[in-house]
Amino acid sequence: YDTTHLGHAFTYLSFDILHRYLKYQGYEVTYVQNVTDIDDDILKKAKELGKDWKELGQYWTDRFLTDLKTMNILMPTHYVKATESIETIVTIVQTLIEKEMAYVVDGNVYFRTSKDPEYGKLSRYSREEMIKLSKERGANPDDPHKEDPLDFIMWQKSLPDEPSWESHWGAGRPGWHIECSAMVYQYIDNNIDIHGGGIDLIYPHHESEIAQSENFTGVKPFTNTWMHTGAVHYEGEKMSKSLGNLIMVVKLLETYSAEAIRYLLLSHHYREPWHYEEKELIQKAKQMEIIKKALTQEATEQGSEEEEIKREFFAALDDDLDTPKAVAILTTLAKKQLKKPTVLYNKLLREMYSLLF
């Protein structure tokens, strides 16, 4: 719910560039994007609004997809809902119970972190830091059912007015972390090349995914490469639904083009946190006009510097997706094209533009 704000757009655009660039390089890409369509927050919001949780989730999913298409973000290979993986979730949880990596208390199932000596290897936080962060990010380390404050819920007993699914240990619904482990296993494999999301997902979400998946499959590592995007801030705080300090893409599109918004986002490295100010978007919109004008410029001369510019542009993308450098090179090329239109510049400009926009 409450999607798509600029923080969402920054994350999904970052992976859109990765998706485009890998395909450009000739890789066959299987890209899975998930929709968490059942969790505590969705049920809470549905109750507040007096709406059915399914209808609420579908409304915002449709809105999100419309925003992504408007932003020219390519669709993934698989776009899946957590509720479509319940059978896989139950299988994983049951296997972990049998391996004594999970335990059942009053219809709830918890992962037993004490049995996983590597728990915490991604975030590298101390035990005290993990307990503090889990409390801040929706978990309850003081739950009396837990053997250890760091144990996390994999299956939750549903309240009478909440949706539920049948399982070996009773009716309930999945925890957040297990949903993603199940979708990865179902749509990709035991091991994946690249896994990502916002930096705030490192702990507890991705840390818990690793623990569940590796102990279920026995395959390590669960993920070869982790990519986490920096947070977007506004009014001095991280842009978030809980704070309500959201800059919505649909609102920005009333004034600015999708390309201008993409330019703004690409001007920040995917790993770095940054602060949104409208004056920066105004400036990027002007730069975008220069690029668009250059794309329509007719050229007659051949030109000679094409190979060097191309090398610099792709070297930037090869260097941990340095989009700020890549978009700066594109803008410089556009200005050169306006001053002295050449056939090679025109061809290269279109090639670079198609990767970024």
Given this model, what pLDDT does residue 284 score?
A: 98
126 burial type by CB count under 10 A (0-12 exposed, 13-18 middle, 19+ buried): exposed
Interval 71-98: pLDDT, tens? 999 999 999 999 999 999 999 999 999 9
Over residues 274-299, the mean pLDDT reads: 95
At residue 216's C-alpha, the angle toward residues 215 and 219, to 5°, is 70
Interval 164-185: pLDDT, tens? 999 999 999 999 999 999 999 9
Cβ partners under 8 Å of residue 256, min gap 6: 281, 285
Instruction: Return the closest-CA partner of residue 151 out of 141, 159, 160, 161.
Output: 141
CA–CA gap between residue 60 and residue 40 (Å, rounded): 16
Whether the pLDDT of residue 20 is over 80: the answer is yes
Given this model, what pLDDT does residue 302 score?
A: 66
How high does pLDDT run on average in the chain?
Answer: 94
Over residues 265-287, the mean pLDDT reads: 98
Whether the pLDDT of residue 1 is over 80: the answer is no
- Of residues 30 and 298, the one with the higher pLDDT is 30
Cβ partners under 8 Å of residue 122, min gap 6: 202, 203, 206, 207, 210, 226
Given this model, what pLDDT does residue 259 score?
A: 98
**pTM for the full predicted model:** 0.93
Query: Which H, E and C letters describe 152-192, residue by residue?
Result: EEEEEECCCCCCCECCCCCCEEECHHHHHHHHHHHHCCCCE
Q: Where are the beta strands (DSSP E) in 220-338?
A: 223-229, 232-234, 237-238, 274-275
Given this model, what pLDDT does residue 3 score?
A: 82
CA–CA gap between residue 51 and residue 35 (Å, rounded): 19
Instruction: Return the closest-CA partner of residue 154 out of 97, 76, 80.
Output: 97
Over residues 319-329, the mean pLDDT reads: 98
Whether the pLDDT of residue 307 is over 90: the answer is no
Given this model, what pLDDT does residue 73 score?
A: 97
Given this model, what pLDDT does residue 234 score?
A: 95
Chain centroid to CA 195: how far? 9
